[in-house]
Amino acid sequence: MSTQIKKKPGLGRGLSALLEDAGNDVNAAVNAPIGHVSMVPIRNIEANPFQPRTEFGAAEMEELAESIKVHGVIQPITVRKMSADRFQIISGERRTRASQLAGLTQIPAYVRVANDQDMLEMALIENIQRSDLNAIEIGMSYKRLLEECNLKQEELGERVGKDRTTVNNYLRLLKLPDTIQLGIKQGVVTMGHARAIINIDDPDTQMRLYAQMIDNQLNVREVESLAKATKEGKTYDFPKGTDWDPEIDRITEEFYKKLNTHVHLKNGAKGKGKIIISYKNREDLERILSRIQD
């Protein structure tokens, strides 16, 4: 296969112009100027040691590779220049892997210089904002930003565009037993399920509630009731049969991510229902309104 990526209409005139002089000249790519987009040989690029994403789904990679075969790499990756002919990924490892799978030998890359501290922060923040990381990976990324980049929670919130409560909710997930964290990563339960039992201090009790949650296919609201009954020393009557709908839980979770407040979806007949949004005070209500209008 030619070392030149055929320019596709999807690249746009601006990016095509930036790559026009670099496409045929491997030496020019290897000596790519700082602050510009160049075609960089994939063999000269190494993985990001600070990559927060730990899993790349095979089916997802195949789908992206097929898209790249048709449209090319629409959004350049970002790399730092290590030496005259070596580059390290800051963001875009998924695109790089898919490009290799698609048989490409070069990839458009924005070249910059960064020290390890800056690179860690950039890589973590860019991946949090651009990738569909699971809640545990996001929590781990937040933790690394706090510990390794010496950020305070307020500073972290400003960097990632989240308020302190949201940041703290993700960090608290990391205190759950490993089995529950794995369940979140694998999509067995949602972050909403996990939040419902996170206020239980005893890990053994958390695991018991987790097992009951799975066995009875409880929705988030039911898990909240179960956790409350457990804390109060009361007996919880598990529902006979279930109308649990994982899609409703997923939508509820998306509402929480968007609004950072409890949202309850009440299902009625024929697909109708109500959305109940909780707020603490008038200021919180204004905050929620501004997020809805974004």
- Domains of the chain by residue range: 9-117, 134-174, 176-241, 245-294
Q: Which is nearest to 174 in space by CA: 149, 146, 155?
A: 146
- What's the half-sphere exposure (Cβ side, CA atoms, 13 Å) at 33? 7
Q: 224 catalytic, yes or no? A: no
More confident residue, 281 or 233: 233
Report how far Cα 1 is from the mean position of its chain's Cα atoms: 34
What are the residues whose beta carbons fall under 8 Å from the beta carbon of 265, sequence distance 6 or more?
A: 248, 251, 252, 255, 273, 274, 275, 276
pLDDT value for 50: 66
Task: Calculate ∠ Cα 142-179-143, nearest 5°.
Answer: 10
Residue 186: pLDDT over 60: yes
pLDDT value for 206: 92
pLDDT value for 176: 92
- Residue 168, φ and ψ in degrees, nearest 5: -65, -35
- Residue 238, φ and ψ in degrees, nearest 5: -70, 140
| pTM, rounded to two decimals | 0.50
More confident residue, 235 or 206: 206
Q: Which is nearest to 18 in space by CA: 2, 31, 37, 5?
A: 37
What are the residues whose beta carbons fall under 8 Å from the beta carbon of 24, sequence distance 6 or more?
A: 4
- 292, 259 contact by CB (below 8 A): yes
Q: What is the CATH code for 9-117? A: 3.90.1530.30
Residue 84: pLDDT over 60: yes
Q: What's the token pair of residue 104?
A: 């490409």
**30 class by beta-carbon count within 10 Å (0-12 exposed, 13-18 middle, 19+ buried):** middle
Q: Which is nearest to 8 in space by CA: 104, 81, 100?
A: 104
Residue 243: pLDDT over 70: no
Among the listed residues 20, 66, 93, 121, the single catalytic one is 93
- Residue 256, φ and ψ in degrees, nearest 5: -65, -45
- 151, 120 contact by CB (below 8 A): no
More confident residue, 241 or 218: 218
Greatest mean pLDDT among 65-74, 139-148, 153-162, 264-273: 65-74
Residue 42: pLDDT over 90: yes
Greatest mean pLDDT among 81-90, 167-176, 232-241: 167-176
- 156, 168 contact by CB (below 8 A): no
What is the per-residue pLDDT across 94-115, written as a single tens digit (0 to 9) for each? Answer: 899 999 999 999 999 988 776 6
- Calculate mean pLDDT across residues 239-266: 69
- Calculate mean pLDDT across residues 12-36: 49
Residue 7: pLDDT over 70: no
Q: Which is nearest to 72 in space by CA: 30, 104, 47?
A: 104
Least confident residue range of 212-216, 241-245, 247-251 = 241-245
Taking residue 153's Cβ as centre, other Cβ atoms within 10 Å add up to 17
More confident residue, 40 or 283: 40
Residue 196: pLDDT over 70: yes
